[in-house]
Homo-oligomer: A and B are copies of this chain.
Amino acid sequence: MTASRVPQRIAILGLGVMGASIGMALHRAGVAEVVGWDPDADAVEAARELGAVGQSVTSPECAVSSAELITLAAPVPVIPELASHIVPHMRDDAVVTDIGSVKTPIVQQCERLLGERFVGGHPMAGTEMHGARHANPAMLRDAPWILTPTARTSEESLMLVRDLIASLGARPVTMEPDEHDRLVAYISHLPHAVAFALAAAVHTSVEPDGLALAGGSFRSGTRVAASDPSVWSHIMVQNAGHVTAALDRLLPILASIRDAAARGDVAALTCLLASRDCPPRP
């Protein structure tokens, strides 16, 4: 067992709502100096105002030059690009983690670049709001934070990331990248797909006057449909195998609910709604 280093300088690349929330949580925990970068100057300004970054720099290479831990908090398709961009500028002993919602493609690409120094990560927290100005470190408190080390990942890298997460009050959980991707297809990507589809079906069928009468079930069911569609389309495409499997599980259940309602079969419908083992459809 290796004793964990405590990083003195942490870089966050990407200051959206998640990157900035992590920066604020690090700031509050007082664990390290945080240097941040984002291609959007407004995001950088907001992150500075919120105390999410102590120092902002104008390029990713400057951000990483003296960092011991680098957090890639960019959208999923950008993470491997960013990793490739910073490799020549990093310290030899720097450890890199990310917060992407899909792990297998990111871990494969980042390990090719970083080997034992990369630890895939995914905090199971978030919000439908976008941008650094909606950052809120409280969402990380007690949140599960999945890490996906592989046989290549060094114990030292894993411990560095795990200890840092624990110092923010989140709960590190370790699993295989593919186990993560299958799990989040069901507990996160499928709920997002459903919320977006429900919002689309209702918004294109009901006039605004009618929508204004909606109660809590519609609001809860479509809350996360306020998330950024382009962020989510990339996530779903990168996790297409598991996302389509999850939708292939959901669609027949919804079709069975439709058919049971159509034929007036209260017993079959109750069984379907109660998630019990139901007799086969007639």
Binding site for B on A (CB under 8 A): 124-127, 143-144, 146, 173, 183, 186-188, 190-206, 210-218, 220-225, 229-230, 232-234, 236-237, 240, 243-244, 246-251, 253-255, 257-258, 260-262, 264-267, 269-275
A250 touches which one: B126, B198, B211 (CB < 8 A)?
A: B198
CA distance A225 to B261 in the complex (A): 17
Q: Is the CB of B187 within 8 A of A202?
A: yes
Q: Is the CB of A195 within 8 A of B221?
A: yes
CA distance A192 to B270 in the complex (A): 13
Q: Is the CB of A233 within 8 A of B273?
A: yes
Interface centre among A243, A254, A266 (most CB of B within 10 A): A254
CA distance A183 to B230 in the complex (A): 30
Interface of A (DSSP majority class) = helix
A249 touches which one: B205, B212, B234, B269 (CB < 8 A)?
A: B205
CB neighbours of A267 from chain B (8 A): 233
Question: What's the least CB distance linking A196 to chain B, in Å?
Answer: 4
CA distance A251 to B236 in the complex (A): 18
Question: What's the least CB distance linking A57 to chain B, in Å?
Answer: 30
Q: Is the CB of A191 within 8 A of B196?
A: no
Question: Could you give 20 example pairs across A and B, Cβ below 8 Å?
Answer: A126-B217, A183-B206, A186-B201, A187-B210, A188-B214, A190-B198, A190-B201, A191-B221, A194-B198, A195-B220, A196-B272, A198-B250, A200-B275, A201-B246, A201-B250, A203-B275, A205-B246, A216-B223, A229-B273, A250-B254
